[in-house]
């Protein structure tokens, strides 16, 4: 927005918006942030039961860890994308009253989820060290997460701006996250997919993130350069497209909210 005063401290606004989301989410709850750990653990228990007891064909070493390394990145993706999509419409009062850099809204929602993500990942990595061990390939992990965050920010920018004009978008996103749970290698591995379909999986950043994490944490193997490059390409491409669309659409947000 051209009129956003040059003196605005975007980082300070971002910090305040993230803090707001975080505090509002857990205020008046006795278990607070522990709730963000309950859901993945319950899902891990269920998936482990189904695929090691009921259908042991998918069974592999450290299956609970294997599943968590899929669930945690997937949950971050789906939750941030969904809440990010509604973030502009949900903050109509801000859009209509204060000139500030509009991009901060979806980005702050994604970064708010990153706080949870970091906590979940940290605990998960402790478990990985305990059961599998540490290896030098871990140096790649921050880069992988950073690329995933870039990708999700791009998606959130894209769909949150479209959602202002057509509120149907949030339901499309909601359905997409349900479908993608099955189409991403959350409870199965990329190695179990037919060889001629693997290229699709490596182009999907969420699949790539899960695959790379497991490769590093469970096998101690370095991330393949081609997968990293595809992940980086698709992530920054998505951010570019999302920011471009958002920039085009944000001018008229106030008219449609």
Partner 1 sequence: MRAIDLQQVSKRFLIHKTREFAVPRLGRKSSHTVEPFWAVRDVSLQVEPGEKVALVGGNGAGKSTLLGIVAGIITETSGKVSRNGRIGALLELGTGFHSDLTGRENIHLNASLLGFRPADVKRELDSIVDFAELKDFLDEPVRTYSSGMIARLGFSVAIHVDPDILIMDEVLSVGDRGFQAKCKEKIADLAGRGRTLLFVSHQMSAVLAMCPRTVWLDKGRVRMDGPSQKVVAAYEGAVTSLPRATSVEVR
Q: Which residue ranges make up the site for partner 1 (CB under 8 A)?
A: 1-9, 12-13, 15-17, 19-20, 23-24, 27-28, 91, 93-100, 166, 168, 251-252, 254-255
> Please, what is the minimum distance in Å from the beta carbon of residue 75 to partner 1?
24
> What's the closest the beta carbon of residue 3 comes to partner 1, in angstroms?
2
* In the complex, least distance from residue 19 CB atom to partner 1, rounded to whole angstroms: 7
At its nearest, how many Å lie between partner 1 and the CB of residue 5? 5
- Report the C-alpha gap between 120 and 114 in whole angstroms: 10
Q: Give the Cα separation of 67 and 26 in Å (integer).
A: 27
Q: Is the Cβ of residue 57 or residue 93 nearer to partner 1 in the bound state? A: 93
Q: Taking a C-beta distance cutoff of 8 angstroms, is the pair 66, 189 a contact? A: yes
Cα–Cα distance, 108 to 15 (Å, whole number): 8
- Closest C-alpha among 115, 148, 151, 139 to residue 217: 139
- In terms of CB distance, is 12 or 199 closer to partner 1? 12
d(CA 66, CA 121): 13
Please list, in sequence order, all residues whose beta carbon lies within 8 angstroms of the beta carbon of residue 206, skipping any fewer than 6 positions away.
73, 74, 77, 148, 151, 180, 184
By C-beta, is 60 or 166 nearer to partner 1?
166
CB of 83 to partner 1, least distance (A): 15
Q: Are 100 and 8 in contact (CB under 8 A)?
A: yes
Q: Which is nearer to partner 1, 24 or 46 (CB)?
A: 24
Of residues 143 and 254, the one with the C-beta less far from partner 1? 254
End-to-end Cα, the chain, rounded Å: 17
Spatial separation of the C-alpha atoms in residues 28 and 132, rounded to whole Å: 38
- Supply the minimum distance, in Å, between the C-beta of residue 82 and partner 1: 20
Cβ proximity to partner 1: between 198 and 254 the closer is 254
Q: Which two tokens stand for residue 27?
A: 């205020």
| Whole-Å CA distances, 219 to 66, 134, 208, 216, 229 | 11, 10, 15, 6, 20
């Amino acid at each position: 927005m051209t009129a956003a005063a040059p003196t605005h401290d975007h980082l300070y606004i971002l910090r305040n918006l993230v803090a707001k989301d975080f505090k509002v989410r857990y205020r008046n709850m006795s278990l607070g942030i522990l709730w963000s750990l309950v859901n993945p653990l319950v899902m891990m228990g269920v998936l482990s039961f189904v695929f090691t007891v009921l259908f042991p064909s998918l069974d592999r070493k450290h299956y609970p860890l294997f599943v968590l390394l899929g669930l945690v990145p997937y949950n971050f993706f789906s939750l941030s994308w969904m809440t990010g999509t509604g973030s502009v419409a949900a903050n109509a009062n801000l859009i209509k009253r204060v000139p500030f850099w509009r991009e901060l809204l979806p980005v702050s929602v994604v970064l708010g989820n990153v706080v949870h993500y970091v906590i979940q990942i940290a605990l998960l990595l402790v478990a990985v060290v305990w059961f599998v061990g540490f290896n030098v390939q871990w140096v790649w992990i921050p880069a992988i997460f950073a690329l995933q965050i870039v990708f999700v920010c791009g998606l959130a920018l894209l769909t949150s701006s479209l959602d202002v004009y057509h509120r149907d978008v949030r339901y499309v996103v909601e359905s997409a996250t349900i479908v993608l749970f099955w189409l991403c290698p959350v409870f199965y591995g990329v190695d179990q997919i037919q060889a001629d379909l693997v290229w699709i999986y490596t182009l999907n950043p969420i699949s790539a993130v899960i695959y790379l994490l497991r490769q590093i944490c469970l096998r101690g193997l370095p991330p393949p350069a081609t997968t990293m490059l595809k992940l980086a390409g698709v992530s920054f491409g998505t951010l570019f497209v999302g920011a471009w669309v958002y920039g085009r659409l944000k001018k008229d947000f106030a008219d449609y909210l």
